[in-house]
Amino acid sequence: MTAQTKKSIFNRPEKSYVHPYFGGIVLGIVLFLAFFLTGNGLGSSGATSRIDAWIADAISPSHVDNNPYLLKMAGGDKNPLDDWIVPVFFGALLGGFVSGFFNGRLKFTTTKGPHISNRARWLVAFLGGVIFLYGARMARGCTSGQALSGGATLSAGSWVVMFAIFGGAYGMAYFVRKLWN
């Protein structure tokens, strides 16, 4: 079945992906404009931390006021959602859904190999996401923030983190390869 004949849940024909070089040029322009207009790059993990701080502040403000990490984002009268990265996060999320809809790729599917169940795949994906997000906060940024923003500013630390991420993924692939074959 070709990409043109597959149908999404909204009965739209699936369109081809944009050429990667064109996509890279557009991403570079967006990154430049982000630096130029806001003084900040692109990233996502900072927004999830702020959303977590907002939830924690709604449940237990005294805990937030006694936690140095959360205090910087939500202590006292601070609103943790009042930061440039939160609209960027929701804009990227909304943009992904809109793009998926208009290009016929908005569908419910679980991509996996034949030797893993849907439930196990979802569990592994969730656990991997939690570990990666925790690591992203320890590294002071996710792959978007480190590779795009840090790499664009030639930050040595960002280059080290990205080599570690790709090296770690390459090393881990040996242990999970049989789930995909």
- Pick from 109, 130, 145: which residue ends a domain? 109
pLDDT band, residue 105 (cuts 50/70/90): confident
Return the ∠ at Cα 161 (arms to 156 and 163), rounded to 5°: 95
- Pick from 58, 79, 109: which residue ends a domain? 109
Which range of residues forms the domain containing residue 146? 110-181
* 119 and 156 inside one domain: yes
Per-residue confidence (pLDDT) for residue 9, from 0 to 100: 61
pLDDT digits 0-9 by tens, 129-179? 888 888 888 877 788 788 888 888 899 988 998 898 889 989 988 888 877
Assess whether pLDDT exceeds 70 at residue 2: no
- Pick from 82, 109, 136: which residue ends a domain? 109
Per-residue confidence (pLDDT) for residue 29, from 0 to 100: 95
Query: What are φ and ψ of residue 13, in 5° steps?
Result: -65, 140
* 64 and 121 inside one domain: no
* 145 and 90 inside one domain: no
* 6 and 33 inside one domain: yes
Average confidence (pLDDT) over 115-134 = 89
pLDDT digits 0-9 by tens, 34-73? 899 888 888 888 888 899 999 999 999 999 999 998 998 9
* 80 and 117 inside one domain: no
When divided into structural domains, the chain yields a total of 2
Name residue 68's amino acid: P
- Tokens for 58? 């709604």
Kindly provide the b/e burial profile for residues 63-101, where b requires at least 16 CB atoms within 10 angstroms of the residue's own CB: ebeebeebeebbbeebebbebebbebbeeeeeeeeeebe
* 88 and 140 inside one domain: no
Would the CA dihedral through 167, 169, 175, 177 be positive or negative?
Answer: negative
* 104 and 24 inside one domain: yes
* 102 and 122 inside one domain: no
Residues 6+ away with beta carbon under 8 Å from 165: 143, 146
